[in-house]
């Protein structure tokens, strides 16, 4: 470990950076020295962006995504399909799905998945708000897409949500599992390959854009 | 590239992080979301550490190292040997040498090395201040150790400094070049191996601690 920093201010900044995931003290020092080489205005804008973010950011009260206002720009978009609701673990997943340009409905951000190992139970997530939204008789939702990770925790959460929502009468779907684009069969794991045989598609359907 | 951030505040923070060297937009997003998950006090202390660093840090007026005060803790240490002055490129090199616990003199931080490719000339560095320090008749310095990188630019700078300082009568030395500890001969480059033969050491001298 590098010790003996010539300055407490420097040491503090390095310590703060090295608390971030994947950043050790050597990288932290390099980043901090980079910030010192910048114009002081640029470093100010870095520090202020962090402080403003933490002080001012909100959660959308409808989908629980991060937002600058009470209702996020997705939930306030009148052109989206009110019938479709996509349930995701976190905001990164919203961004990933948005980047595919293949989904034009709304989102519901759970804020995590059920994980007994990490002590996350249903009450820690926005499941109650999801239920109310789907079960509400005036709700326009006809399909809930469960877009959770294909892990044990993801499957557990899928199953829990399915049980909660199945009586509402809406269609409940999940993301297709199969080979990734570019995958070699010999490197695909057995479960994925097995599912991709069981859930095989009409070849013709793969030739058109799936939007 | 990930686009469509749900929040301008989030986008700003991600942009600021992704300006740092070696941090792309995906990593930046991960770091920013990490900061949002922390207690707000911790995120505040991160942002404030950056702002305070940039606003309050100084350069030691003697050695040009970063410092919280006018004179850094090394330059104000009465137990160090006034006779030895070690010239380094930057503050990281001060930390590296301090961590060896093998040097007990003072430092002079050049703030870079002469590099025509990057447009860094002698006037951009603290060479004048070094000359004054060494040439001053009342100076206690008897040896200047040039501890610059073993690159073309480092060699150029070494040579430039040597010409400037040689008439002062102080001894001018440079770091030993040779095999790294743990090096296999077959993987050492020819120049390093050649030098380590030319500058071979009495075996007995390698058996004692070089302090």
Reading the block at residue B134, the tokens are 């060494």
Q: Which residue has the tokens 């009495």?
A: B202
Binary contact (A35, B53; C-beta < 8 A) = yes
Q: What's the whole-model pTM score?
A: 0.71
- Is the ipTM here above 0.90? no
Q: How far is CA A167 from the centre of its chain?
A: 27
* pLDDT tens for the 211 residues of chain B, in order: 445 788 889 999 999 999 999 999 989 999 999 998 888 899 999 999 999 998 899 999 999 999 989 999 999 999 999 999 999 999 888 988 888 888 899 999 999 999 988 899 999 999 999 999 999 989 999 999 999 888 889 989 999 999 999 888 899 988 887 877 777 777 778 788 877 777 777 767 666 654 4
Residue A16: closest C-alpha in chain B = B46
Cβ-defined contact of A7 to B72 (cutoff 8 Å): yes
Asked if A13 is an interface residue toward chain B (Cβ–Cβ < 8 A), one would say yes
d(CA A92, CA A111): 11
For residues B88 and B109, the answer to whether their CB atoms sit within 8 Å is: yes
pLDDT tens-digit profile of B173-203?
888 878 777 777 777 787 888 777 777 777 6
Smallest CA-to-CA distance from A115 within A78, A82, A155, A80 is with A155
> Rounded CA gap, B192 and B187, in Å?
10
Q: Does B37 touch chain A (CB under 8 A)?
A: no
Q: Does the beta-carbon distance from A6 to B94 stay under 8 Å?
A: yes
């Amino acid at each position: 470990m590098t010790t003996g920093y010539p300055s407490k201010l420097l040491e503090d900044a390095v310590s703060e950076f090295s608390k971030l995931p994947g950043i050790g003290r050597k990288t932290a020092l390099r980043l901090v020295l980079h910030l010192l080489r910048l114009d002081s205005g640029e470093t100010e804008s870095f520090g202020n962006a962090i402080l403003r973010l933490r002080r001012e950011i909100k959660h959308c009260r409808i989908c629980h995504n991060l937002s600058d206002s009470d209702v996020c720009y997705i939930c306030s978009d009148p052109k989206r399909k009110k019938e479709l609701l996509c349930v995701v673990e976190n905001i990164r997943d919203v961004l990933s799905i948005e980047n595919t340009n293949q989904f034009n409905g709304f989102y519901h951000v759970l804020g995590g998945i059920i994980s007994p190992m990490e002590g996350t139970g249903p009450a820690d997530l926005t499941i109650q708000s999801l239920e109310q939204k789907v079960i509400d008789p005036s709700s326009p939702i006809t399909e809930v897409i469960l877009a959770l990770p294909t892990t044990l925790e993801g499957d557990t959460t899928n199953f829990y949500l399915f049980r909660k929502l199945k009586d509402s009468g809406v269609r409940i779907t999940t993301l297709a599992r199969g080979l990734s684009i570019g995958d070699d069969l010999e490197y695909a794991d057995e479960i994925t390959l097995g599912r991709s045989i069981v859930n095989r598609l009409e070849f013709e359907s793969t030739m058109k854009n799936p939007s």
